[in-house]
Structure 1
Amino acid sequence: MDLRYGINPQQRAAGAEPVQPGQWPVRVLQGSPSYINMLDALNSWQLVLEASRALNRPAAASFKHVSPAGAALAGPVDAVTAELYGVDPDRIGPLTSAYLRARDSDPKSSYGDFVAVSHPVDAELADLLARVVCDGIIAPGYAPGTTAVLGRKKNGRFLVLEADTAYAPPRQESREVFGLRLTQQRDEQAVYAGLLDDVVCGTLSTGATEDLLLGLATLRYTQSNSVCYLRGGQTLGIGAGQQSRVDCTRLAGAKVDTWWLRRHPAVRALAFRPEVRRQERINWQIRFIEGDLTPDETARLSTALSAPAPELTDSQRTDWLAGLHDVAFVSDGALPFRDNVDHAHRHGVSCIAEPGGSIRATEVEDACREHGIALARTGLRLFHH
């Protein structure tokens, strides 16, 4: 298969071929994929397939630059998300709900995302995707007429891939870097509830267990170091690719706070002019929450609003953030210091799953006990590079 180009447009000679001759894990139904498109598609498909199988519910992921911006299971869509995307939360189907919940985790980053869903695309999801900015989708099938709807996006350049659910990858995998071929055994460890049996303090509810399992499936396909916060079957913040784990924890925690503050009455009261597009509204909401607008941004926000912006004081922020509870936290590697626990606690975390085994494991456990956080040690590292 010829690819449109490599990682960068100047890398014109690019292609893909199956490791096992004649056995393709995906096929292209529409568009011409690039190298990064294929990386996003193959990683995101594995994530949603694994999450759906582990939790027996439809799953979706929103991918950007080979890491998920968000991932979620089918579930309730709250009023904020429903209003933003113009859907009826009481009538929405499971697959569409999974994608909306995944995209709403970090809607700024999900702009122009690559979509993955665990079940065949139906008319409802195709109609939604026709109205949002995304670059492509991978799914195990498409209901009649849906590929035609999607094919009209981006003047026919929208990428539609169909995954083969029966495909079994080879047990050995390799990559070439600077003339050297690196080979390793594929990680075939399944994500299942038994990984959370070693609860060293506290207890895990059914909902917490499900969130932690979704977190494990998500981080397996997120560039390391990585952590994620989850609640109610969806990610609230993912920190990826940082050299310091606590930087991941703080970065993802800031995304959690932004997600929760987008539900604050002052943010919901921002009165945008009708011509302001959805993504502009999202970006302005986030900048309003962040609060450090430049003079130019202040002027442009005023122009985008039909009424002055309401006040969102520091005390209002603090009070609102204190209302976020029952958040799960997962780390792809052992927590090396208790600072990760201390920061996670600030974002409503009530349970943590991590491999364990660091030389300061006792300090990490002590921090969890101090904050009333349940701690499960999986013994499973999930680095992804």
Structure 2
Amino acid sequence: MTDLQPLRRALLSVSDKTGLIDLGRALVARDVVLLSTGGTAKALRDAGLPVTDVAEVTGFPEMMDGRVKTLHPMVHGGLLALRDDAGHRQAMQDHGIAGIDLLVVNLYPFEATVAAGGDYDTCIENIDIGGPAMIRAASKNHAYVSTIVDVGDYDALLAELDAHDGQTTLAFRQRLAQAAYGRTAAYDAAVSTWMAQAIGQATPRRRAFAGELRQTMRYGENPHQTASFYADGSGRPGVATAVQHQGKELSYNNINDTDAAFELVAEFDPADGPAVAIIKHANPCGVARGATLLEAYRKAFDCDRTSAFGGIVAMNVALDEETAQAIAEIFTEVVIAPGASDAARAVFAAKKNLRLLTTDGLPDPQAAQLTYRQVAGGMLVQDKDTGHVPAADLRVVTKVQPTDAQMADLRFAWTVAKHVKSNAIVYVRDGATVGVGAGQMSRLDSALIAAKKAERMADATGLPQPLTIGSAVASDAFFPFADGLMEAAAAGATCVIQPGGSMRDAEVIAAADDAGIAMVFTGMRHFRH
């Protein structure tokens, strides 16, 4: 094996023809012979470039609707031959096989076909066979062959050839090979994941996980940790697909918190009015609806102004100028929205460190999705919590019935609680959180902390009493004892929503009746660890 390898013969077969003609011209200018297939060959030929059809090399026409064209020794021999092996050279001579020094392939658009809602047969037809086979062959033989699977690597190839007089270095070919194997692995992962869903296989024997690098970060959760950000290719609107209009690069924690904020605010349909969620350390510190976006923001901000400082703000409608001005009054890390007006962007332009992201849509909170969590030696996989309890399925278990206004606040609180780390207690009044207790080992402590935060905000804003008085309360899981419920009642709550299902439900219901508050059971819990 030698470090430098000349590039004399290239096989180009691409689905995505972006940059193809420019690459073909650059290779021909360097006296590289072009081989190609089907539509790729036609595109090159139409551009006036000399190209040899693979069918001329193999002696077989493309057949079976293009399923069979490159699966032939004349192709794979040219890719796999060890140039420094006498036996391989003799086999090439005996069978008239010429070496292929460069393979440029991008695969059938399987992922795009699935994303577009293709039916089963259409998806099957978009599973590439010859492409992955050639990629794997060429990449295995990277000692001699360069393999390109990404349009973005065309310029790097040409720069490499210019730097080394028409040759490539081993280090360059190694990098290309690694990227190529990553691509085929991701492709197979997409196929296997789709097929498991298509045939109703909830727990397939093997799962494959893949992603495409979006960002290499300065560090992870802490400065001593390395980190990077990968997109899964699903196209789900959010931080992975957002356009960043300004501000410094997103950090690991920024991305984690921004995702939490946007997934939460997407629970609220824009058709029902603007909603805003403010997140700190992946927990909501304020969520509200309003008649206007500005009103929603101010109500969310007033839940916990201290925690909102340096937080993430997400909204379910496009950002407007007035709301941007209000947000700009304090330090905010990230703002994410489906869109933003020119005037709003102009307001933020003076805040160089504030990141503004727009997504052109909201993620569907009911869409099926898998979540993953690594443990030592394995991976936990589950369905995303898309749980939703219709109003008709809610069960009032107390003597006191909630009013329509209370029921609206209960449902709002229940939606927010789904996005709060367990144990979660959420106080809501008039379509806005007024106290959030998150991540405590005791549900009683969560209720107490949330109430104390509301008391502190009342003092800070000059209110005569905390807004928990007259509020609705949600608990993400059942009350194991009546103490957590009584703490909420002591804070002024008038109604409670919880899953039910405790051995002591009767005791908790009796305590609610004694306190004169309404209680609703959902029959569903929302643990979030």
CA contact under 8 A between 1:3 and 1:35: conserved in structure 2?
Answer: no
Q: Confirm whether residue 14 of structure 1 aligns to residue 212 of structure 2.
A: no
Which one of 267, 271, 275 corresponds to residue 59 of structure 1?
275
| Secondary structure at 1:109 match in 2 | helix
SS at match of 2:265: helix
**2:380 match:** 182
* Distance (whole Å) between structure 1 residues aligned to residue 500 and residue 507 of structure 2: 11
| C-alpha separation in 2, matches of 1:178 and 1:17 | 23
On the 8 A contact 1:198/1:378 being kept in 2, the answer is: no
Identical aligned pairs, as a percentage?
A: 33
Partner of 2:353: 157
Q: Which residue of 1 aligns with 2:318?
A: 120
Counterpart of 2:505 (choices 361, 370, 383) is: 361
Of the candidates 28, 53, 58, which is equivalent to residue 243 of structure 2? 28
Corresponding residue for residue 74 of structure 1: 290
CA 191–161 in structure 1, closer or farther in 2 if over 3 Å, else same: farther
Aligned: 1:255 with 2:453: yes
1:345 positional shift:
1.2
TM-score relative to the length of structure 1: 0.74
8 A Cα contact 2:227 2:252, kept in partner: no
Question: What does the per-residue CA deviation read over 1:4-62, in whole Å, with 9 as the maximum and x for residues that have no partner?
Answer: 33211222332222253x66633131331112111211111121111346x81211111
Residue 42 of structure 1 pairs with residue 238 of structure 2: no
Contact 1:225 1:241 in 2 (8 A): yes
Residues 143-172 of structure 1: per-residue CA shift (max 9 Å, x gap): 12322432331xx23111223436555532
Matches for 1:259-270 after TM superposition, within 5 Å? 259-264=457-462
- Superposed, 1:171-250 pairs within 5 Å as 171-190=369-388, 192-250=390-448
Q: 2:514 aligns with which of 343, 350, 370?
A: 370
1:344 is aligned with what amino acid?
A
1:328 to 455, 469, 472: 472
1:132 positional shift: 1.6
Letter paired with 1:59: A
Alpha-carbon spacing, 1:215–1:128, altered in 2? closer, same or farther (3 Å): same
Conserved? CA contact 1:52–1:73, under 8 Å:
no
238-247 vs 33-42, greater mean Cα deviation:
33-42
Report which structure shows greater RCO (CA 8 Å, sep ≥6).
1
Q: State the distance in 1 between where 2:224 and 2:466 align.
A: 49
Please list every run of 5 or more consecutive structure 2 residues that lacks an aligned counterpart in the other structure. 1-213
The structure that has the greater radius of gyration is: 2
Supply the RMSD in Å over aligned alpha carbons. Answer: 2.3
What is the SS of the residue equivalent to 1:213? helix
Amino acid at match of 2:386: E
Assess, with a 3 A threshold, how the Cα gap between structure 1 residues 367 and 126 changes in structure 2: closer, same or farther. same
- CA–CA separation in structure 2 for the residues paired with 1:106 and 1:363: 33
Q: TM-score, normalised by structure 2?
A: 0.55
The one-letter code sitting in structure 1 at the alignment partner of 2:379 is R
Contact 2:300 2:432 in 1 (8 A): yes
Contact kept in structure 2, 1:227 and 1:332, CA below 8 Å: yes
Give a deviation string over 1:73-123, Cα, whole Å, max 9, x none.
115xxxxxxxxxxxxxxxxxx101111111110111111110011110011
